[in-house]
Amino acid sequence: MQDNIIRIGTRGSPLALAQAREVRSRLMAAHGLFEDSFEIVVIKTSGDRILDRPLSEVGGKGLFTKEIEEALLDCSIDLAVHSMKDMATRLPEGLTIGAVMRREDVRDAFISLKYNSIEDLPEGATVGTSSLRRRAQVLKLRPDLRIVEFRGNVQTRLRKLEEGQADASFLACAGLKRLGMGRDITSLVEIDQMLPAVAQAAISVEIKADGDQISQLVAPLNDQKTALCVKAERAFLERLEGSCRTPIGGLATIEDERIVFRGQILSEDGTNSFETSSAGPTTKAVKIGTDAADELLEAAGPDFLSKPL
């Protein structure tokens, strides 16, 4: 840290800034610090720059973290705040996850100005999304719907709905709640219908692996149950080598001191879907995730995830 100012790196979207401020507030409360002890450093990432193409065409995980991680490595910032679902399963050498904050609601939110739910959409209605997972899951439920590309932050996507560019869309419930926009949720989609993305609703604090002082600073922010669940989910994703180019859902919860895991892989058009569920002790989080991935790979066949989109 330089001049005792703690520099927090983040993207510049309203949601990313809300998450960075949440981390700052938690650190202030944990250590008796004041707001002027921190500087929020906004860093534009590749994912923020590329707005004219689907994310699946321009790269996998890391599009929203690469430049922030580079700033961590060159000591331009002291810690980074990410939506954990945006993070690659393998971090750059020299970096580590210092804390995983308590998870928000993991579900997806159905958003529409005309209809109340997925079931209420008329045949041929348009659904806007840039997520391959949501696209595949929606088409699995409703193959009659038409999917259109929807890029942008929360506010941009809501504006596109108001302009009539689609009849409905989906956003993470957690993001809307963190922005104080829960009123914009038309209805919540239960996980039996749409299994969330790996690590959805979890905020991570990334730090340098050799930064003992920062490690101690952020440690009080860690929620052990969330960290264990995300550990299982990310192990599942890593074994599948999943990225933005692969429709994958995964969710772990802790029930009676055991991890309960559900995983899903789909074809892009939703016509093929393979699901699994398992449970085990919290000490076996990684194994639970990797075993679930192996089970799905065996069921789907070796070429399922490598099929062209």
- How far from 266 is each of 17, 260, 273, 279, CA to CA, in Å? 32, 21, 4, 22
- Sheet with 146-148, edge to edge strand ranges: 146-148, 126-128, 168-172, 108-111, 187-189
CB burial class (10 A; 0-12, 13-18, 19+) of residue 6? Answer: buried
- If you write DSSP's letter for every residue of 278-297 in order, what string do you get? EEEEGGGHHHHHHHHHHHHH
SS3 of the chain: helix, strand, coil, percent, to 5: 40, 25, 40
Nearest Cα residue to 47 out of 268, 243, 248: 243
DSSP 152: S
- Across 277-294, b (16+ Cβ under 10 Å) vs e yields ebebebeebbebbbbbbe
Per the residue annotation, which of 36, 52, 86, 212 is the catalytic one?
86
Name residues whose C-beta falls within 8 Å of residue 104's C-beta, 6 or more positions apart in sequence: 173, 174, 177, 178, 201
Tokens describing residue 181:
């926009």
How many distinct helices (H) and strands (E) make up the chain? 10, 13
**86 assigned to active site:** yes
Q: Which residues are catalytic?
A: 86
